[in-house]
Structure 1
Amino acid sequence: MAVIGTGAIAESHRTAFEAHREDVDLVAAADVDEARVAAFCAETEHAKPYRDLGTLLAEQEPDLVSICTPPSLHVEQTKKALESGAWVWCEKPPCRSLAEYDEMTVAEREGGPYAAFVYQQRSGSAAAHFRDLLAGGELGRPLVAHCQTTWYRDAAYYAVPWRGRWETEGGGPAMGHGIHQMDLLLHLLGDWAEVRAMTARLVHDVETEDVSTALVRFESGALATVVNSVLSPDEVSRIRIDCELATAELTHLYGYGVKDWRYTPAPHVAEDAVERWHTPADDVGSSHAAAFAPILAAYRAGRRPPCSGDDGRQVLEFIAALYKSASTGLGVRRGEIGPGDPFYRAMAGTRTGDRG
């Protein structure tokens, strides 16, 4: 393994590798900040610090590279790693647009290397349990859902030069914060069909939005509301799904376990069914370590990992549709944003640099 970018999120990657220490050896890290990469490597067993990705790839020839840099750097670094033969595990958001995503995946090869993306909220065993219950018909059809990422970020957060700008971050809280819960919602409910959205910039002096809302119709017929905010002092991440036989609700902040899920049965549902809903086979919390396990397994098997290819692209397409709908005032259907669409090239569409 090698890590590219040794800021705060890189610690979560290092912790994930330590959880798999029998299979993983962290041999190198790279960062333009010499002191920061040296400090990061000092916390490892023997990782060597580098200032340049190309030199690291040439000297170390890592099997797999974690990319923990700002979004504007992901395409170039991912392509360079893939072209060297290394698999990639890249932080969210994958990149700044659907066009960039498609550009990255061109560098993949059948059987690997592949690029996968960090959507760790999928990784909890309780989410897998819900999907099993839904697939088995034990909860009935999903009907109504709510997806909420309402967090708080102050002016100091946006003092970091690349944040809050279309060119460098690619979007506001829909891209940088709510992407995890929205990916989990899509993972739980399947293909979305249409989105209608609004965005606003109510507090922060940034180019992007600081709050967004959306109405979503799924292919199943289920309807959902989605709210993303960095203006909310009472921070929470929540998904609620009302099915025919029960309401399932997940409430947490940055990660969850089985205890964070609650099932409320419809009045006519038998007690023994309810007991099964609350007893998944194990309790694996959502985390980078849990998310890395299937990436490692896919690498060993030489097959496409989860959160890559079409699977990794789905939430990015959803976010592009959210931004397009907010800009045009029209509903946007899945599949309509293609190479000729300005929202394919940038989440801002034609609004890049706008502060008005």
Structure 2
Amino acid sequence: MPVAEPPAQPPTTRTTPISPSTPASPVRAAVVGTGGIVTGSHLPALRELHGRVRLVAAVDTDPARLTAFRDLAGDDVHGYGDLDEMLAAERPDLVLLGTPPALHAVQATAALRAGAWVLCEKPLCLSLAEYDAIAAAEGTEEGGTGGPYASVVFQHRYGSGAVHARELLRSGELGRPLVAHCQTTWYRDRAYYSVPWRGRWATEGGGPTMGHGIHQMDLLLHLLGDWTEVRAMAGRLVHDVESEDVSTALVQFADGTMATVVNSVLSPDEVSRIRIDCADATVELTHLYGHSNDDWAYTPAVHARDDERRTAHWRTPAADVPSSHAAQLDGFLDAMEKGVRPPGSGTEARRTLEFLAALYKSAFTGRPVGAGEIGPDDPYYHAMHGNHPDWAPKEQ
């Protein structure tokens, strides 16, 4: 299939929100990048929500990959080899970014300036400096008619189990949170790093801290709220790459909760886990790449075990909505209809990225890092390695 030629017209910045979506007027969406994450996650989500959103265009610099995607997505999806050409020709309402991380900031900014809302694969960008540049390209809320906005894909926040757990924690139903554990222990072999952009600071932004554990750490912050201090270590123990292959951290939250964090791509027994011990119960999530209600468990404290009336409410809800790209996209479309900032954007998304920058800074400097400490004059504001890409030699 040939790449479509765009008409000679510039992109137009949209200053008002799109009209509420109905089956007769779905959101017009475009995908950028047609590799595995778009084919395997975004395309099924778009199909699941076909009454609310319609895929009109796809962008990829690889003509063969683009052709294969269009064969899968349908001939009515126009193909382009260049993002700017697609934005000018299609003027989409929504752009879904599934390209390698180093491209996210430039592509998100271009889409926002063309008037499109953005839902981008993690990480949204490679530094706090890039994040703030993206935020500067967003629209502003004025009487609920704001936008466009950029949001990052953090699908683990979504699904009925996560929603229920957050409600219980924030309402105090489980008692005060005291101790937490966040674990992303996965395994990646040498072949995984044969992809040129992986394991490199300039193209991936970091190792398992940035590219793998980011999901569980974001969910931990989503459940517990603001963090205040990080003390961390990182190492390059096995893989011959620029970035780390393991990191650990001790974290204190604003309410006093203390947590441990482990991110690894060296672990044959793979698991993703969050555990939060509260005064009246322990809530635990154990899964790998996605969760449903059955992956959440609640264990009452001894003094609460006989209070069936209370503990019955802790059990996961009857409706089971798994965490997924579709679950997040559904909420994102709700925000578009209302012209309000979508979940997973703004200060919430920046908080997670700042947490990662603080983890790296603490690991590389050997001292604790506080929330709000990393500003424009700090090298860790501009790069996760803080201008020290050779921070740790590979262990022998």
* TM-score between the two structures when normalised by the length of structure 1: 0.98
1:99 aligns with 2:134: no
Alignment match of 2:293 (pick from 253, 258, 272): 258
Partner of residue 68, structure 1: 98
- Which residue, out of 103, 111, 120, partners 1:81? 111
Aligned counterpart, 1:16: 45
Is 1:109 equivalent to 2:109 in the alignment? no
Map 1:1-356; keep pairs closer than 5 Å.
Answer: 1-11=29-39, 12-45=41-74, 46-110=76-140, 111-269=146-304, 270-352=307-389, 356=393
Contact 1:149–1:177, Cα closer than 8 Å, also in 2: yes
- Contact 1:166-1:353 within 8 A present in 2 as well: no
Tell me, in whole angstroms, the C-alpha distance in 2 between the residues paired with 1:271 and 1:30.
55
- Structure-2 separation of matches of 1:281 and 1:190: 26
Distance in 1 (CA, whole Å) between partners of 2:107 and 2:167 is: 37
How far the C-alpha of 1:273 sits from its partner, in A, is: 2.1
**Which consecutive segments of 4 or more residues in structure 1 shift more than 6 A?**
none
Q: Whole-Å Cα distance in 2 between the matches of residues 138 and 352 of structure 1?
A: 45
Structure 1 unmatched runs, 5+ = none
Counterpart residue identity of residue 219, structure 2: L
Work out the CA distance in 2 between the residues paired with 1:355 and 1:275.
50
Superposition RMSD in Å: 1.0
Moved more, 239-248 or 281-290: 281-290
Distance 1:64 1:102, change over 3 A: same
**Corresponding letter in the other structure for 1:89:** L
Name the structure 1 match of 2:12: none
Q: Does the 8 A contact of 2:161 with 2:316 survive in 1?
A: no
Call closer, same or farther: CA 1:103–1:353 in 2, change over 3 Å: farther
Give me the whole-angstrom Cα distance separating, in 2, the residues matched to 1:172 and 1:268: 43
- Cα contact 2:169–2:224 (8 A) shared by 1: no
Q: CA deviation at 1:281?
A: 5.0
Q: Please give the secondary structure, in 1, of the residue aligned with 2:54.
A: coil
1:38 Cα deviation from its structure 2 partner:
1.1
Any conservation in 2 of the 1:28–1:41 contact (CA below 8 Å)?
no
Distance 1:316 1:281 in 2: 34
Give 1:355 deviation, angstroms.
6.3
Cα separation, 1, equivalents of 2:112 and 2:169: 37
* SS in structure 2 of the partner of residue 28 of structure 1: strand
Cα drift, residue 9 of structure 1:
0.5
The letter for the 1-side match of 2:388 is: R
2:143 corresponds to which residue? none
How far apart, in 2, do the equivalents of 1:115 and 1:217 lie? 28
SS across alignment from 1:204:
coil
Letter in 2 for 1:307: G
Unaligned runs of 5+ in 2: 1-28, 141-145
DSSP-derived class of the 2:55 partner: coil
- Looking at structure 2, the residues matched to 355 and 277 of structure 1 have their Cα atoms a distance apart, in angstroms, of 45
- What letter matches 1:51 in structure 2? G
Deviations along 1:128-162, one digit per CA (max 9) or x if unpaired, are: 11121123221000000000000000000001111
Equivalent-residue separation in structure 2 for 1:71 and 1:319 (angstroms):
15
Length, aligned pairs only? 356
Question: CA offset at residue 354 of structure 1?
Answer: 5.5
Over alpha carbons, which structure has the higher Rg? Answer: 2
The separation in 1 between residues aligned to 2:310 and 2:161, in whole angstroms, is 16
**Displacement, 1:188?**
0.2
Per-residue deviation, 1:249: 0.5
Q: CA–CA distance in 1 between the matches of 2:234 and 2:169? A: 32
- Supply the distance in 1 between the matched residues of 2:84 and 2:151 (Cα, whole angstroms): 20
CA distance in 2, matches of 1:174, 1:95: 14
How far off is 1:344 after superposition?
A: 0.2
TM-score (norm 2): 0.88
> In the alignment, residue 232 of structure 2 is paired with which amino acid?
A
Hey, what's the Cα distance between the residues in 2 that align with 1:108 and 1:131?
28
| Percentage identity across paired residues of the two chains | 63
Q: CA deviation at 1:312?
A: 1.1
* SS in structure 2 at match of 1:94: coil
SS for the counterpart of 2:298 is strand
